[in-house]
């Protein structure tokens, strides 16, 4: 690097009534170049001073920067500027509650440049000192504790914060508003739960989880948490789920608001998200990726470690099963698309960064910066094994193999091909770390050729505990033999059997009848992870072919098998049992009108219902003719994001066209949280009755989402979630329309959507 940033001193004045701010940033740096490019977006530059003298500068809109001349050596650059606080959910923005405005920041990946001129690049770490002038009745939160408060004339105050350690610009945080707080001391760290005034949860669950997770990571890494305090901040409108700002983690309200509306699955996701963001306080914050191509190193490791932490503090929750069902499954599906990308993907400019915040980066896998190669080298040194050779082949290449296993006498013949949902193709082999379990024990090897024989005697299963990132396609005889071992297979191995056969069905590797036979041979098992997996598969099939009598029959039969074993909810039962029951009930309500009608009758008592059945009841009410007015009344009465999103999602399933138009108008007119419009539009796009309405309004919907979620993958994610379902039977039309909509940010989602639409159209033709 030709420039070393030592520090930023940022002085801000917030005008809360005008929703604007003015600032001066002083940058101390060392330069080996004749200029510095300071990123700045939507900021009006007033003056630039270098070493005490006015300096010219050049505007470079193509790189979102101003170029300031420097001398070699030490420089002190001061920039005065002004800006407005927009409603965009990025940068320094306005987040509204029913009673007040909150000003908050979301800087990952390139939002810092919207609040102050800076070198907005993760490798350019610096120390930050922040001073904020605000109305005296407002609270201010940042990464570090307050160092000094000063009363100013005119009802103002100046809040000065301690200097941060060296960190990247995207980790700086500023929150301004009226907050309630509750804190506990954990060792030397103040853990603080914060929320807009009047909305702080009474539950200690978030602080309890955060404290235990903090203890776990300090012990596991043998590195103490680096800052004196850690805020967990509830943000009323937030594009992301959470953000790991160092010392000031922000969350959507749903992740910090615990109460009667909190479902069993939400308890688990709350704990995982808190653990994920706290994990980032070490890798991501203390040690940061050098550039965004190593985002996977940041996110995948945080995902891995979050489940490891939860396994330590809540082993009864089966976090490994959650990781497999929620993360591995999504990564396997997305990486089976031609539109996928390698884990380690080249990022050339800021516009491409948002495109890689996806299932691949999260699921497939002292203050300084790091690269993926640093990890492999460290593991090699610790283990003495050739990790780099294997891992480089996986992270630099998209996709994964399917291993076809056939028996030939005393041998198992293994063959690997490139697995794609469009069909299986020949490709150079991967070096696959493969573990097979036999009655005599486990055998591990590296399968790095097209074909390889292994002994067949006593085979129990290939891919022990679903630990490998590949699929297995057993010949019919072998599948029968493996499924006959059902009672000795682990729940994860049974999940893998089910997940693989569904993927093979999608790819055309199994006929629908063969898939059905194989599924029915294993669906008697009552593992909670297996019930969730099979319920999800059957619901997908229902959405693809809602009029199929065969799919409806399979759903009825599956429900009948497990209804009795799951029974009614009991106090203190395992969360996974509650989640499995909800999955099964939601599935069955799609095809059984009597059951759906019985649920709909409970909607009048929505707020007294168990949290795990509220979403199912709301959807049944909408599906069985419930009115927009009744849903709207419950929406207005909701006090938590969890209830609001459940009811909003159900609104998209109303039967009456006029009711649906009222729901659409409500969303368009901004009468719901901006972050929540995604839930409504996604539900609309898969609604059996109303998906065509989504397509009629698709361009307008995506345009409005792009205006709310600036620089985010969210609009692309809506396309890739809805179009593969809503567009069945209209593929040619959708290709043409989506091509006209294509932008750099939307392009990856459009490619995925078209590919999945083609897969679903073929699937529908195979379903009877």
Do 705 and 715 contact (CB within 8 A), yes or no?
yes
User: What is the rounded distance in angstroms from the CA atom of residue 251 to the CA atom of residue 258?
Assistant: 13
Q: What contacts 601, CB < 8 A, 6 or more positions away?
A: none
User: What is the rounded distance in angstroms from the CA atom of residue 48 to the CA atom of residue 56?
Assistant: 7
- From the candidates 237, 277, 359, 464, which is the catalytic residue? 277
**DSSP string across 93-132:** EEEE-SS-EEEEEE-TTTTGGGTS-B---TT--BEEEEEE
User: What is the rounded distance in angstroms from the CA atom of residue 284 to the CA atom of residue 124?
Assistant: 14
DSSP E strand stretches across 409-554: 411-418, 432-438, 441-447, 451-455, 459-462, 471-474
Give the CB-side neighbour count of residue 520, counting CA atoms within 13 A.
13
Please give, one letter per residue, the 3-state secondary structure of 204-272. Answer: CHHHHHHHHHHHHHHHHHCCCCCCCEEEEEEECCCCCCEECCCCEEEEEHHHCCCCCCCCHHHHHHHHH
Do 24 and 180 contact (CB within 8 A), yes or no?
no
Closest CA to 172 of 223, 98, 122, 241: 122
Would you call 630 helix, strand, or coil by DSSP? Answer: helix
Residue 416 in tokens? 């690997």
Dihedral sign (CA 86, 88, 92, 94): positive
Distances (CA, A) of 106 to 29, 290, 526, 712: 25, 20, 43, 11
Contacts 24+ apart (CB under 8 A), 96-99: 96/236, 96/237, 97/196, 97/199, 97/236, 99/197, 99/198
**DSSP string across 647-668:** HHHHHTT-S-HHHHHHHHHHHH
DSSP character at residue 745: T
Closest CA to 165 of 374, 368, 371, 370: 368
Residue 346 in tokens? 């080249």
Q: What contacts 312, CB < 8 A, 6 or more positions away?
A: 216
Which DSSP helix (H) or strand (E) runs through 589?
A: helix 575-589
Would you call 728 helix, strand, or coil by DSSP? Answer: coil
User: What is the rounded distance in angstroms from the CA atom of residue 678 to the CA atom of residue 713?
Assistant: 12
Do 256 and 206 contact (CB within 8 A), yes or no?
yes
- Say whether 163 is catalytic: no
Residues assigned a catalytic role: 277
């Amino acid at each position: 690097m030709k420039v070393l940033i030592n520090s930023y001193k940022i002085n801000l004045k917030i005008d809360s009534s005008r929703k604007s701010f003015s600032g001066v940033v002083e940058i101390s740096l060392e330069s080996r170049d004749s200029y510095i490019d300071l990123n700045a977006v939507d900021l009006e530059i007033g003056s630039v001073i270098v070493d005490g003298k006015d300096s010219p500068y050049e505007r470079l809109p193509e790189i979102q920067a101003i170029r300031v001349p420097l001398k070699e050596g030490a420089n002190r650059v001061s920039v005065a500027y002004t800006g407005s606080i927009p409603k965009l959910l990025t940068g320094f923005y306005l987040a509204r509650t029913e009673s007040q405005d909150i000003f908050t920041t979301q800087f990952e990946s390139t939002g810092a440049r919207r609040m102050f001129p800076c070198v907005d690049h993760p490798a350019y770490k610096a120390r930050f000192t922040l001073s904020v002038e605000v109305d005296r009745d407002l609270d201010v939160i940042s990464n570090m504790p307050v160092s000094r408060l000063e009363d100013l004339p005119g009802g103002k105050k100046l809040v000065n914060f301690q200097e941060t350690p060296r960190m990247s610009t995207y980790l700086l945080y500023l929150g301004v508003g009226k907050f309630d707080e509750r804190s506990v001391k954990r060792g030397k760290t103040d853990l603080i739960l914060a929320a807009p005034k009047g909305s702080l949860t009474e539950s200690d669950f978030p602080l309890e989880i955060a404290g235990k997770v903090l203890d776990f990571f300090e012990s596991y890494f043998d590195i103490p948490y680096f800052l004196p305090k850690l805020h967990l901040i509830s943000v009323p409108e937030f594009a992301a789920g959470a953000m790991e700002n160092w010392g000031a983690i922000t969350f959507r309200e749903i992740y910090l608001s615990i109460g009667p509306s909190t479902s069993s699955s939400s308890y688990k996701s709350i704990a995982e998200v808190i653990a994920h963001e706290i994990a980032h306080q070490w890798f991501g914050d203390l040690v940061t990726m050098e550039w965004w191509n190593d985002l996977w190193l940041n996110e995948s490791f945080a995902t891995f470690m979050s489940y490891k932490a939860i396994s330590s503090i809540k082993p009864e929750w089966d976090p490994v099963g959650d990781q497999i069902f929620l993360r591995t499954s999504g990564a396997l599906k997305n990486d089976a698309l031609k539109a996928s990308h390698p884990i380690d993907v080249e990022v050339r400019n800021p516009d491409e960064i948002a495109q890689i915040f996806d299932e691949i980066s999260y699921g497939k896998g002292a203050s300084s910066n790091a690269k993926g190669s640093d990890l492999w080298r460290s593991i090699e040194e610790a283990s003495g094994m050739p990790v780099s050779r294997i891992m480089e082949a996986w992270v630099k290449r998209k996709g994964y193999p399917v291993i076809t296993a056939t028996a030939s006498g005393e041998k198992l013949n293994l063959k690997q091909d490139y697995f794609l949902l469009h069909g299986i193709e020949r490709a150079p082999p991967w070096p696959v770390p493969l573990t097979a379990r036999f009655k005599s024990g486990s055998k591990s090897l590296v399968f790095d050729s097209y074909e390889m024989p292994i002994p067949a005697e006593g085979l129990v299963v290939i891919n022990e505990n679903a630990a490998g990132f590949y699929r297995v396609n057993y010949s019919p005889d072998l599948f029968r033999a493996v499924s006959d071992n059902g009672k000795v297979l682990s729940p994860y191995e049974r999940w893998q059997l089910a997940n693989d056969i569904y993927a093979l069905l999608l790819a055309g590797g199994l006929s629908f009848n063969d898939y059905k036979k194989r599924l029915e041979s294993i669906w008697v098992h009552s593992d909670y992870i297996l019930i969730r997996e099979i319920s999800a598969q059957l619901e997908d099939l229902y959405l693809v072919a809602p009029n199929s009598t065969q799919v409806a029959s399979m759903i009825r039969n599956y429900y009948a098998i497990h209804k009795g074993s799951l029974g009614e909810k009991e106090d203190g039962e395992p969360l996974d049992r509650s989640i499995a029951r909800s999955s099964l009930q939601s599935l069955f309500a799609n095809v059984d009108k009597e059951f759906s009608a019985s649920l709909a009758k409970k909607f009048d008592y929505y707020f007294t219902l168990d949290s795990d059945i509220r979403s199912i009841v709301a959807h049944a009410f909408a599906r069985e003719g419930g009115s927009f007015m009744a849903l709207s009344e419950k929406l207005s009465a909701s006090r938590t994001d969890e209830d609001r999103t459940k009811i909003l999602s159900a609104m998209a399933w109303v039967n009456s066209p006029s009711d649906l138009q009222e729901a659409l108008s409500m969303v368009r007119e901004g009468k719901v949280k901006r972050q929540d419009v995604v839930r409504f539009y996604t539900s609309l796009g898969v609604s059996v009755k109303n998906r065509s309405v989504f397509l009629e309004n698709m361009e307008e919907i995506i345009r409005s989402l792009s205006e709310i979620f600036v620089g985010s993958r969210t609009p692309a994610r809506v396309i890739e979630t809805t179009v593969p379902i809503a567009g069945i039977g209209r593929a040619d039309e959708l290709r043409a329309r989506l091509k006209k909509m294509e932008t750099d940010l939307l392009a990856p989602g459009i490619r995925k959507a078209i590919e999945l639409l083609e897969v679903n159209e073929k699937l529908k033709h195979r379903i009877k």
